Each structure stands twice: as structure tokens, then as C-alpha cells.
Amino acid sequence: MRRQPTLEHCIVARIMKTLRTYPHVVVRKRHGTAMGVAGDPDLYGTINGGHFEIEVKRPNDPSSQLTKLQEQRLQEWAAGGSIVGVARCVHDALQILGLVRPEPRVRWTCESCRRYTWEGAYAPARCPNCGHRHFDKQVVAA
């Protein structure tokens, strides 16, 4: 059975739900009507008084791309000083709005043998060299 790609409106709903948890963000879905401008992005709103426009595309679907008109509309909004971007997931939208910080890089060194180091958000369960379970933590970059 062919896996169905996630529908665009599902992503839109998830993005809106997440953005609504931020008190300094107001987000609206733009409904395509005869009164609207063709090609305008799916979502718009404000973050701390800064206007944003986000076009939503389906994740993992190369056929889901901006049309020429959508690209042009995004450029118009950007030229007017708006924050603009294309989101394929909630994380993309948060990134466009500057709501995600990069994960700090942490280096873990085995306390016992000192020969095993590991970089990641969490310490490994045990050292593959000596089996020790405790690691020294060192933040490499914020």
C-alpha cells in the first residue's frame, strides 16, 4: 500500500496550534476567496508587532513546491518588510519566526577511562570501552 503524504491542511492546523501557544504571536489562516489576492501565503500574522507570511507545503513531497505566483507573492511581502518563509513542518515555522534556539552541543567524556567521548544532547548509557556509566559534561557551543 502506498503511504499517503501528510496533507497540507494537517500541517497548517498543527502549525497554528503550536503558534497559538506563544502569547506574543497572532496567527491567521488565509482563506482563498474571490476577494483575496491569488498566490498569497497560507498563514499570516504578527510576532511582537512584526508581520509574517508563511506558505505551507507538504513534507516529504517533492511535488509540493511553490508556484511561480506564490514565490512572487512571498517576495512582495519580503520587500515590504515582512518575515516570510516556506514551512513543511511545525519546526520550519518556528525557525522562520526565530522561535527555536539551536541545541547546545555537549561533549561527554568517560569519567573512568577518559578515552571515550561522545557529542550529543544526552550522555550515552555506558562507555563502550570500559562500561562506566558516568560522564563529564562539557558544553562545546551554545
Among 24, 129, 133, 136, binds Zn ion (CB under 5 A): 129
**DSSP secondary structure letter of residue 43:** E
135 touches Zn ion (CB under 5 A): no
37 touches Zn ion (CB under 5 A): no
* Cα angle value 109/115/121 (rounded, 5°): 25
Taking the complex as a whole, the smallest distance from the CB of residue 129 to Zn ion amounts, in Å, to 4
User: Which helix (H) or strand (E) covers residue 93, if one does?
Assistant: helix 90-96
d(CA 132, CA 125): 9
- Look up residue 15 and give its three cell numbers: 502549525
Taking residues 81 to 120 in sequence order and writing x for each that binds Zn ion by CB under 5 A, - otherwise, the string is -----------------------------x-xx--x----
Decide if 15 contacts 90 (C-beta within 8 A): yes
Taking the complex as a whole, the smallest distance from the CB of residue 105 to Zn ion amounts, in Å, to 21
Closer CB to Zn ion, 77 or 116, in the complex: 116
Closer CB to Zn ion, 26 or 113, in the complex: 113
Taking the complex as a whole, the smallest distance from the CB of residue 133 to Zn ion amounts, in Å, to 9
78 touches Zn ion (CB under 5 A): no
Nearest to 55 by CA among 70, 68, 69, 45: 70
Mode of pairing for the β-strands spanning 43-47 and 25-29:
antiparallel
Q: Rule CB under 5 A: which residues touch Zn ion?
A: 110, 112-113, 116, 127, 129-130, 132
